[in-house]
Structure 1
Amino acid sequence: MNIINAKIYTMEDKIIPNGYITVENGKITAVGEMSGFAVTSADILDVNGAGVYPGFVDAHSHLGMWEDGLGFEGDDGNEATDPSTPHLRGIDAVNPMDHCFEEAYRAGVTTVVTGPGSSNPVAGQLAAIKTYGNRIDDLIVKEPLAIKFALGENPKGIYHGKNEAPETRMATAAIIREQLYKAKKYLEDKQKAAEDEDFDEPDYDIKCEALLPLLRGEIKAHFHAHRADDIFTAMRLAREFKLNYVLIHCTEGHLIADKLRAEGADAVIGPLLCERSKPELRNLTPKTAAVLHKQGVSIAICTDHPVIPIQYLPLTAGLAVREGLPYEEALRAITINPARICGLEERIGSIKPGKDADLVVFEGDPLSVYTTPNMVFINGFRVI
């Protein structure tokens, strides 16, 4: 397939005013100016000057974990019976038949990071998945993508009601630290056993096994943290265990932007349209994205679906523009930035040969409340 006469927002630091994109076997194989286009196939789609963008990426959601319109029967996001559950795999709970998946791709959101909620300090394994299809195994971009950790009010609120730890922020951090130390010792013992036949391999521990890719640096830690002190706790834990990490929500990040810049932290900001529903959100402002960007912090914007419905991801990016984030940076915050922050930039996030052909066609402004995509392609297949 050849898409021609397109204004291409590559998100590779350039816009092609009038260009073409060639797609073969679900991948982008060529991108360039129309002046360099040579017809190689009769399969041509002329978009007549419309804008073509990479598929939008939501770096933090719970899509498919809380099914739309259902109560307990469709609530599979929090296993609130054990504060340390690194072995839980989000893909075992995601229901891609939930109609919110269709709402996602109809809004141009083609890839999401989804997984467990924040009731447990060590919550489980996140996955990056595409939004079109009916079998989760066929949608996976990367799994596990990251281990989800939660700080702040959510674990406290859940376990206070049970009269169990953690009832304090101290206990939340201690539970995370204890589990990571156990996994670190488990990894060391496995390595010793591999090197020394006289050293017994440790008994299989599914929780520790789940954390080995994190400790080896193969995946990242995603820390749910709203308040500034919780953000600093996340960074402290990451330093202690030499973890690659991402700050999720980062609600008070605008108050400590200089510290985040100095640490080289990545932040996934959002949700931006929600109410201040709990004390740790008292400093919530849609200006956070602009403040952090101005300080040189790499940011992405998320919905935290179902807190904000997934289809409003581009709208929240538009809100960030209204509050001072440069327009192109808002586009980057829902395309290449989340792809890079999540370690997926080799496959998604920009329009470049070799990447997945996830493409969204708009005749108007994609960040406007008035605009919806004319066409959406996922892996080169047209879904609308």
Structure 2
Amino acid sequence: MYIYNATVITMAEKNHENGFILIENDKIKAVGDMSQLKDFSPSDSDIDAKGKTAYPGFIDAHSHIGAWEDGLAFEGDDGNEDTDPSTPNLRATDMINPLDHCFEEAAQAGVTSVVCGMGSANPIGGTFLAMKTAGSKRIDKRIIKDPVAVKFALGENPKNVYKDKDTAPVTRMATAAIIREQLYKAKRYLDDMIDYESSVGTDDEGDRPEYDAKCEALMPLLKHEIPAHFHAHRADDIFTAIRLAKEFDIDYVIIHATEGHLIADELLEDKARTIVGPIISERCKPELRNHTIATAGVLNKAGVPICICTDHPVVPEQYLPLSAGLAVRGGLDREEALKAITIYPAQIAGIADRVGSIEPGKDADIVIFSGDPLSICDTPDMVIVNGKVI
């Protein structure tokens, strides 16, 4: 299938003012200028996109879609296992309902991939995954990468959840201590496992460490295979996240970064990566008192890597492009805003080999607009996921 006569915004090295995209099966086969198509004769399955613009499918870098099901209360609330403050062994795969109506709304709005997982009740929540918003009714067939990250939470949320349970944490100190204790246990478990594996087959072969599901789940983090995603709004919580990451030599991403604009120079110095949002938000709790739509722009101009997220269901998933548009209103460069919902989240999530740009070999996730994708007034003319028009 060809998409032809389109303005193609690739999010890669070169855009095409009058270009084409060739899709074979579920992949992008070729991208280029129409001048490259000699004696081109379109078939009935090809798409004439004259006067329209093709973008990579949009990606939300942080969402809880499918965890708090649309229109349900406790029955559809699977986002927080608030019976234990340390649950790194929980997996988003076992939580998300891919038949939640919100996935359909997201896909129709051009959001074709999401990084999603549990909420912020626990200091250590579990593992996030990346998945498509359309396709099979079975989540296993829609996963792009699992795990993507381990979720940690700092600040008010764990305190508020556990303050009436007569158990820690009820302070920021205890939240950090719970994280630190679990990471120390996991590090020791990993060291013991390495010692055991190196002794196998030798005269000094020891006993395999007793299986620990929590420590096992943290091993990819300690081995730099995936990063930590630290929920942190306030500046001091952001610095706690960085302190813990340095202490245990783990890669990390700051989620929300609400006060990031106040400490942009420090974040740049520490080479911190950020996922900013929700941008469409009220100041509904104390740690959001410095919330501003300017944060993404300030961080980006300072050189701090950014993505934009909805934090669905805080902001419905379909409003991701609108969130990027509001960031432009707050001072973010428009091209950078588009990258913040395409190639940048793909890179931070470790899925840029498959999504985030229009390049040969990548998944055929494409959004076609006649108007402005960042405008409140415009919706996609067409959305393609895995090579199929939805």
**Counterpart of 2:241?**
234
**Counterpart of 1:245?**
252
Deviation for aligned residue 1:13:
4.0
CA contact (8 A) 1:225 1:250 kept: yes
Q: Are residues 1:168 and 2:171 paired? A: yes
Deviation for aligned residue 1:14:
3.3
Structure 2: distance between partners of 1:56 and 1:95: 20
> Which consecutive residues of structure 2, in runs of 5 or more, have no partner in the other structure?
none
TM-score normalised by L of structure 2: 0.97
Deviation for aligned residue 1:160:
0.7
The 3-state SS of whatever aligns with 2:144 is: strand
**Counterpart of 1:216?**
223
Deviation for aligned residue 1:244:
1.1
Deviations along 1:42-96, one digit per CA (max 9) or x if unpaired, are 3421111210000000000000000011100000000000000000011111011
Structure 1: distance between partners of 2:13 and 2:299: 20
State how 1:1-384 maps to structure 2 within 5 Å.
Answer: 1-38=1-38, 39=40, 42=43, 43-133=45-135, 134-197=137-200, 198-383=205-390
Match for 1:11: what amino acid?
Answer: M
Deviations along 1:262-297, one digit per CA (max 9) or x if unpaired, are 111110000011111110000000100010011011
The 3-state SS of whatever aligns with 1:346 is: coil
Match for 1:285: what amino acid?
Answer: T
The 3-state SS of whatever aligns with 1:347 is: coil
CA contact (8 A) 1:359 1:377 kept: yes
Match for 1:154: what amino acid?
Answer: N
Match for 2:107: what amino acid?
Answer: Y
Deviations along 1:93-136, one digit per CA (max 9) or x if unpaired, are 10111100000000000000111100000000101000013111
Match for 2:121: what amino acid?
Answer: S
Structure 1: distance between partners of 2:14 and 2:331: 22
CA contact (8 A) 1:182 1:208 kept: yes
The 3-state SS of whatever aligns with 1:60 is: strand
Deviations along 1:127-168, one digit per CA (max 9) or x if unpaired, are 100001311111100011110000000001111111210111
The 3-state SS of whatever aligns with 2:146 is: strand
Deviation for aligned residue 1:242:
1.2
The 3-state SS of whatever aligns with 1:339 is: helix
The 3-state SS of whatever aligns with 1:12 is: coil
The 3-state SS of whatever aligns with 2:182 is: helix
Structure 2: distance between partners of 1:199 and 1:222: 35
> Which consecutive residues of structure 1, in runs of 5 or more, have no partner in the other structure?
none
Structure 2: distance between partners of 1:353 and 1:303: 29
Deviation for aligned residue 1:220:
1.1
Q: How many residues align?
A: 383
Match for 2:259: what amino acid?
Answer: E
Match for 1:232: what amino acid?
Answer: F
Structure 1: distance between partners of 2:37 and 2:308: 35
The 3-state SS of whatever aligns with 1:370 is: coil
Deviation for aligned residue 1:40:
8.6
The 3-state SS of whatever aligns with 2:165 is: coil
Change (3 A) 1:165 1:364: same
CA contact (8 A) 1:18 1:49 kept: no
Match for 1:19: what amino acid?
Answer: G
Deviations along 1:15-51, one digit per CA (max 9) or x if unpaired, are 2100000111211111000001244973421111210
Structure 1: distance between partners of 2:132 and 2:62: 13
Structure 1: distance between partners of 2:49 and 2:99: 31
TM-score normalised by L of structure 1: 0.98
Structure 1: distance between partners of 2:384 and 2:227: 28
Structure 2: distance between partners of 1:99 and 1:44: 29
Structure 1: distance between partners of 2:199 and 2:145: 33
Deviation for aligned residue 1:240:
1.1
